[in-house]
């Protein structure tokens, strides 16, 4: 039998609650044709909202290894007309037009022996699709699966993933929440995902292919954390959610933005103001390492930007810092930075 094409509408089969304010919508092709797509791809729905059709993009949360149906997992968004229509008006038996599947944010395009999946909120959907396919096919599995949510009750697919992890070796689940649910103890990671957590979750992160999906601010913090740890960003891939205004395969794997990260080919110069010593270095070297090369002692502790022991003040110039809570915003405003997790940019003079 031929596969489904976007010339045929999708028929809603069910709408089921998934987590707090999250539903999973299951679609089938009225003809019974199976779906063909790569795990991690997305679909663009044409929604018949008042005032004309609205095109809304959603990543497919089901796996191509289960081709008889296709699911989209959607979080309620009061300010989104399209999402409101799906939750308030879409019912089983109704049909909607769709375009796709499309997109290049998929492990198929980047095969690897080890993966690190990092997501926040509904950014978990492509990771769920890719993980389910690996699980269904019985493939070798070495995945560190990191998901961040506001509270434990808002973790999407938690029970399903935990069930998979009990059936196959190599699926290592890591949950990070901002705060626990009331009256329910939480023993996992809590706070904001940072370098220290990543190092504990996946000590061999340098050997892994990284896929990241979530809000732009979240993905930027992940990029900065990995870059600060010396990760090869050629092995970093990200996806973001932006609905196209017209139909068609416009939503593709988001290119890694130029975050003006330190470059090993660009030289910097650190001047130690009290002695007048100057030390040339690559931008990718930390100020702590440069100081040691110059014979300048800076007290240090954790070397992860947590303890604040290496706090140093700039007289002039700029540094690129990715810390993990060892310094306050007020101290940064006053010119302080942490030498262990900061890289010099251009010419920098220190009060040392």
pLDDT for residue 227 = 86
Q: What is the CATH number of the domain that holds 315?
A: 3.10.20.30
Q: Is 51 in the same domain as 91? A: yes
Q: Is 134 in the same domain as 190? A: yes
- Mean model confidence pLDDT for the chain: 88
Q: Does some domain include residue 254?
A: no
Sign for the CA dihedral angle at 245, 20, 141, 227 comes to positive
Task: Give the whole-angstrom CA distance, residue 236 versus residue 324.
Answer: 21
pLDDT at 252 over 50: no
Three-class HEC string of 278-297? EEEEECCCCHHHHHHHCCCC
Q: Which of 239, 259, 290 is the last residue of a domain?
A: 239
The set of residues, in sequence order, having a beta carbon less than 8 Å from that of 75 and lying 6+ positions away, is 21, 22, 83, 121, 122
For residues 241-259, give the mean pLDDT.
Answer: 49
Task: Give the whole-angstrom CA distance, residue 314 versus residue 271.
Answer: 10
pLDDT at 53 over 80: yes
**pTM for the structure as a whole:** 0.76
Q: Does some domain include residue 250?
A: no
Q: Does some domain include residue 45?
A: yes
Q: Is 234 in the same domain as 150? A: yes
Per DSSP, which regions of the chain are E strands? 10-19, 22-28, 42-47, 54-59, 70-75, 95-102, 115-120, 143-149, 171-177, 189-190, 209-213, 236-239, 267-272, 277-282, 311-321, 336-338, 342-350
For residues 48-65, give the mean pLDDT.
Answer: 89
pLDDT at 343 over 60: yes
pLDDT at 303 over 60: yes
pLDDT at 315 over 90: yes
The set of residues, in sequence order, having a beta carbon less than 8 Å from that of 146 and lying 6+ positions away, is 116, 117, 118, 119, 174, 176, 193, 198, 201, 202
pLDDT at 326 over 90: no
Q: Does some domain include residue 276?
A: yes
pLDDT for residue 65 = 95
Q: Is 93 in the same domain as 133? A: no
pLDDT tens per residue across span 40-49: 999 889 999 8
For residues 84-108, give the mean pLDDT.
Answer: 91
Q: Does some domain include residue 22?
A: yes
Q: What is the CATH number of the domain that holds 186?
A: 3.40.50.80
pLDDT at 51 over 70: yes
Whether 117 contacts 134, CB under 8 Å: no
Task: Give the whole-angstrom CA distance, residue 58 versus residue 182.
Answer: 31
pLDDT for residue 1 = 65
Confidence of residue 254 (pLDDT cuts 50, 70, 90): low
Task: Give the whole-angstrom CA distance, residue 345 versus residue 109.
Answer: 35
Q: Does some domain include residue 307?
A: yes
**Which phi and psi (to 5°) does residue 2 adopt?**
-70, 155
pLDDT for residue 60 = 95
Count of structural domains, the chain = 3
Q: Is 213 in the same domain as 150? A: yes
For residues 174-187, give the mean pLDDT.
Answer: 91
For residues 82-104, give the mean pLDDT.
Answer: 91
Q: Is 129 in the same domain as 186? A: yes
Q: Is 209 in the same domain as 130? A: yes
Q: What is the CATH number of the domain that holds 57?
A: 2.40.30.10
Q: Is 143 in the same domain as 225? A: yes
Tokens for 267, please give them: 């030289």
Q: Structural domain of residue 24, as residue ranges?
A: 10-102
Q: Does some domain include residue 28?
A: yes
The set of residues, in sequence order, having a beta carbon less than 8 Å from that of 328 and lying 6+ positions away, is none
Q: Is 216 in the same domain as 139? A: yes
């Amino acid at each position: 039998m031929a596969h489904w094409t976007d010339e045929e509408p999708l028929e809603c089969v069910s709408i089921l609650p998934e987590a707090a304010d999250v539903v999973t919508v299951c679609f089938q092709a009225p003809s019974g044709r199976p779906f063909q797509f790569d795990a991690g791809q997305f679909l663009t729905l044409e929604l018949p909202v008042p005032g004309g059709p609205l095109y809304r993009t959603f990543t497919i949360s089901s796996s191509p290894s289960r081709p008889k149906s296709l699911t989209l997992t959607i979080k309620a968004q009061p300010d989104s007309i399209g999402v409101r229509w799906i939750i308030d008006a879409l019912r089983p038996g109704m049909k909607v037009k769709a375009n796709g599947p499309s997109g290049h944010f998929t492990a198929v395009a980047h095969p690897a022996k080890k993966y690190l999946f990092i997501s926040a909120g509904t950014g978990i959907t492509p990771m769920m699709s890719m993980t389910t396919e690996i699980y269904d096919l019985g493939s070798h599995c070495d995945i560190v699966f990191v998901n961040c949510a506001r509270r434990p009750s808002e973790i999407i697919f938690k029970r399903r993933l935990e069930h998979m992890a009990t059936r196959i070796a190599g699926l290592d689940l890591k949950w990070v929440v901002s705060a626990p649910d009331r009256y329910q103890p939480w023993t996992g990671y809590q706070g904001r995902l940072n370098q220290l957590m990543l190092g504990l979750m996946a000590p061999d992160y340098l050997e892994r292919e990284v896929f990241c999906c979530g809000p732009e601010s979240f993905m930027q913090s992940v990029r900065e954390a990995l870059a600060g740890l010396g990760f090869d960003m050629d092995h970093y891939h990200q996806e973001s959610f932006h609905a196209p205004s017209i139909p068609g395969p416009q939503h593709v794997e988001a290119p890694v933005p130029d975050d003006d990260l330190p470059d090993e080919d660009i030289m910097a110069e650190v001047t130690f103001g009290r002695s007048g010593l100057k030390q040339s270095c690559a931008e990718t070297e930390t100020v702590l390492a440069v100081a040691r090369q110059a014979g300048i002692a800076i007290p240090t502790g954790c070397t992860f930007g947590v303890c604040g022991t290496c706090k140093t003040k700039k007289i002039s110039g700029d540094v690129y810092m990715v810390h993990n809570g060892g310094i306050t915003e007020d101290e940064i405003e006053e010119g302080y930075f942490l030498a262990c997790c900061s890289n010099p940019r251009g010419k920098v003079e220190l009060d040392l």
